[in-house]
């Protein structure tokens, strides 16, 4: 594990550089344990890391780094399976034809592959309501678009590298848009304001079938 | 954005440092006092006036009913801060009184203020403080020195050696494409090596380098997670200086140790404590 300063009141603990469900489970468990400490203001689990904001009156990078190593060495508690969300998708995104051409797949095949797995919510972040879902089946892996769009409509279902995601708000974006959903991911008047939480599971299904 | 100015303005009028203040970017509003109140103006210098006459910044001011607080024009910095004794009334969202324009929540119903709005004082004024409390010059951030101190970032080694040296030597200019989320920095292109990173939690002050090689300094409204390498992090004591920069301003990053950064942070905290405990 690499633990390094992220400014004078935070640090980044990197558990691994791999996209892996077991490592992500450890990262979430470590963040949960760290949030209970009085010297920790906030702990955010990434794919395979934890970003820890601490109270500099109560902790230093060194003291907290040592505590993180002790916590990480413990066996994490058995993670409960996250909630399962079933998300209807209309697979008519503006990039589905191009994705099919580049991967030599028919539209039907893309739908079948994309809606086959139960995805894991690795982390929630970027913009309010966004969740990084994965792993995407290898057959659909493509790098991000060369030129990102300046505006992606809310509800767009997208893929990039080994990930899938849904744009919760109209934002710029560089992922391939393969469909859209009417499910609202950002719920500003709920607490927490995001439908998905880290560790949840997501199953897509074709809304036309 | 400028947490020091925000806290100092609150403390000058006897508030807790976390109460809502007004952040005014580039131009200030004209405010008319409907009731007698104690206010303070800190941060950027927009030439504050009370009933047209110059009024001191970084000083608590008494406004009588009908008094008009206005600003003649920007002289230095980007964001001025106005506090009122008792704090401005604001919507609380996710534990914060600040405005999130993207979500349209917090502050004044999630939107910028507009002419005709009526601003209420949130709470009882607990301590009755007199006007004329002042933050001496030496306790204020040195806004005119655009050197931002930074700690080496977790992914600094992803820059090739030439770029690593450039990062802390070159002068960068704030692009016009800069806002409360982040500042795009124009200057020598930095070369990043290695594979794409997995996304991780970010902090204000992080200096990211995307594929373009033009660094981005994340500010108060930054995204919570991202995957670009973080090559440096501007320290908390330098963020108020960064908050007062404008597109076109030149800045330089100076690398310091964690220990120096802690010392600078404690000095800022001590300045606020002096303001809090100062007698009129």
In chain B, domain spans: 3-139, 147-273
Query: Could you say which residues of chain A have pLDDT below 50?
Result: none
Q: How confident is the model at residue B23 (pLDDT cuts 50, 70, 90)?
A: very high
- The CATH T-level fold of domain B147-273 is Cyclophilin (2.40.100)
Helix (H) or strand (E) segment spanning residue A33: helix A21-35
- Residue A100 neighbours by CB under 8 Å, 6+ apart: A106, A107, A109, A110
- Give the model's pLDDT for residue A147: 76
Mean pLDDT rounded to a whole number for chain B:
94
CB pair distance less than 8 Å for A19 and B234: no
- Give the model's pLDDT for residue A75: 77
Minimal Cβ distance to A56: which of B103, B223, B262: B262
Question: Residue B117 corresponds to which tokens in the numbers above?
Answer: 């709005």
- Give the model's pLDDT for residue B127: 62
The answer, for B97 touching chain A at a CB cutoff of 8 Å, is no
Looking at 3.40.50.2020, 1.20.58.340, 3.30.1360.40, 3.40.50.10470, the CATH number of the domain A2-73 comes to 3.30.1360.40
d(CA B280, CA B278): 7
The residues of A whose Cβ lies within 8 A of any Cβ of B are 2, 4-10, 12, 14, 17-19, 44-51, 53, 56, 60-61, 123, 125-128, 132, 161, 169, 186, 188, 191, 193
- Residue A202 neighbours by CB under 8 Å, 6+ apart: A84, A85, A87, A118, A119, A120, A121, A131, A133, A196
Q: Which residue of B has its CA nearest to A171?
A: B102
Nearest to A150 by CA among A171, A129, A125: A171
**Percent of chain B having pLDDT more than 90?**
86
The answer, for B200 touching chain A at a CB cutoff of 8 Å, is yes
CB pair distance less than 8 Å for A17 and B234: no
pTM above the 0.80 mark? yes
For residue range A85-134, list pLDDT tens digits in order. Answer: 999 999 999 999 999 999 999 999 999 999 999 999 999 988 889 999 99
d(CA B127, CA B76): 32
Residue A4 contacts residue B231 (beta carbons within 8 Å): no
Domain boundaries, chain A: 2-73, 84-206
d(CA A176, CA A203): 19
CB pair distance less than 8 Å for A7 and B198: no
B193 or A6, which is more confident: A6
For residue range B219-268, list pLDDT tens digits in order. Answer: 999 988 988 999 999 999 999 999 999 999 999 999 999 999 999 999 99
Q: How confident is the model at residue B279 (pLDDT cuts 50, 70, 90)?
A: low
CA distance B258 to chain A (A): 6
Which chain A residues are Cβ-neighbours of B102 within 8 angstroms?
127-128, 169
How far, rounded to the nearest angstrom, does the alpha carbon of residue A169 sit from its chain's CA centroid?
Answer: 16
For residue range B152-182, list pLDDT tens digits in order. Answer: 999 999 999 999 999 999 999 999 989 999 9
Q: Is pLDDT above 60 for B280?
A: no
CATH number of this structure's domain B3-139: 2.60.120
Angle at B240 between CA B238 and CA B246, to 5 degrees: 105
d(CA A105, CA A142): 13
Complex ipTM value: 0.92
For residue range B62-77, list pLDDT tens digits in order. Answer: 999 999 999 999 999 9
d(CA B190, CA B47): 39
CB pair distance less than 8 Å for A51 and B203: yes
Q: Which residue of B has its CA nearest to A162?
A: B198
Which chain B residues are Cβ-neighbours of A48 within 8 angstroms?
198
Nearest to B95 by CA among B20, B23, B21, B13: B20
C-alpha distances in Å from residue B182, one per residue of A71, B134, B221, B265: 34, 32, 8, 22
- What class has domain A84-206? mainly beta
- Give the model's pLDDT for residue B32: 98
Which chain B residues are Cβ-neighbours of A17 within 8 angstroms?
195, 197-198
- Give the model's pLDDT for residue B126: 61
- Give the model's pLDDT for residue A140: 97
Tokens 């607080």: give the residue.
B69
Q: Is pLDDT above 90 for B21?
A: yes
CB pair distance less than 8 Å for B261 and A193: no
Nearest to B31 by CA among B132, B99, B119: B119
B248 phi-psi bin (left φ>0, alpha ψ -120 to 50, beta other): left
Question: Residue B258 corresponds to which tokens in the numbers above?
Answer: 């964690």
Give the mutation candidate from A3, A7, A131 for the B interface (greatest B CB count, under 10 A). A7
For residue range B97-112, list pLDDT tens digits in order. Answer: 999 988 899 999 999 9
Which chain A residues are Cβ-neighbours of B195 within 8 angstroms?
17
On the 0-12 / 13-18 / 19+ scale of CB atoms within 10 A, A132 is: buried
- Give the model's pLDDT for residue A73: 87
- Give the model's pLDDT for residue A111: 97
Q: Which residue of A has its CA nearest to B222?
A: A126
């Amino acid at each position: 594990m690499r633990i390094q300063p992220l400014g004078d009141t935070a640090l980044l603990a990197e558990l691994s550089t791999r996209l892996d469900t077991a490592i992500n489970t450890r990262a979430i468990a470590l963040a949960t344990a760290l949030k209970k400490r009085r010297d920790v203001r906030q702990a955010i689990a990434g794919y395979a890391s934890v970003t820890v904001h601490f109270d500099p009156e109560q902790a230093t990078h060194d003291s907290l780094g040592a505590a993180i190593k002790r916590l990480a060495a413990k066996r994490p508690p058995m993670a409960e399976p996250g909630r399962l969300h079933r998300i209807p998708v209309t697979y008519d995104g503006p990039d589905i034809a191009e994705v099919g051409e580049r991967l030599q797949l028919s539209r039907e095949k893309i739908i079948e592959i994309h809606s086959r797995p139960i995805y894991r919510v690795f982390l929630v972040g970027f913009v309010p309501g966004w969740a990084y879902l994965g792993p995407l089946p290898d057959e659909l892996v493509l790098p991000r678009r060369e030129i990102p769009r300046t505006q992606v409509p809310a509800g767009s279902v997208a893929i990039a590298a080994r990930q899938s995601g849904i744009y919760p708000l109209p934002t710029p974006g560089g992922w391939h848009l393969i469909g859209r959903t009417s499910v609202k991911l950002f719920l500003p008047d709920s607490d927490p304001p995001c439908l998905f939480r880290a560790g949840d599971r997501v199953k897509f299904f074709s809304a036309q079938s | 954005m400028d947490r020091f100015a925000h806290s100092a303005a609150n403390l000058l009028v006897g508030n807790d440092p976390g109460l809502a203040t007004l952040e005014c970017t580039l131009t200030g509003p004209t405010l008319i006092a409907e009731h007698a109140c104690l206010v303070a103006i800190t941060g950027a210098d927009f030439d504050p006036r009370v009933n047209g006459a110059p009024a001191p910044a970084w000083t608590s001011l008494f406004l009588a009913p009908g008094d008009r607080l206005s600003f003649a024009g920007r002289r230095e910095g980007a964001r001025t801060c106005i506090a009122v004794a008792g704090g401005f009334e604001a919507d609380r969202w996710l534990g914060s009184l600040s405005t999130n324009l993207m979500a349209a929540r917090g502050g004044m119903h999630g939107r910028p203020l507009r002419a005709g709005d009526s601003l209420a004082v949130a709470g009882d004024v607990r301590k009755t403080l007199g006007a004329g409390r002042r933050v001496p010059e030496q306790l204020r951030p040195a806004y005119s020195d655009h050197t931002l101190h930074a700690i080496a970032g977790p992914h600094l080694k992803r820059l090739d050696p030439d770029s690593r040296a450039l990062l802390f030597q070159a002068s960068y200019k704030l692009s016009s494409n800069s806002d409360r989320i982040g500042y795009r920095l124009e200057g020598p292109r930095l070369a990043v090596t290695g594979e794409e990173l997995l996304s991780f939690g970010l902090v204000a002050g992080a200096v990211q380098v995307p594929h373009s090689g033009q660094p981005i300094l994340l500010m108060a409204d930054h995204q919570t997670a991202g995957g670009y390498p973080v090559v440096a992090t501007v320290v908390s004591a330098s963020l108020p200086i960064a908050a007062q920069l404008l597109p076109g301003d030149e800045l330089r990053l100076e690398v310091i140790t964690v220990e120096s950064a802690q010392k600078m942070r404690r000095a800022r905290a001590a300045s606020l404590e002096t303001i809090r405990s100062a007698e009129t």
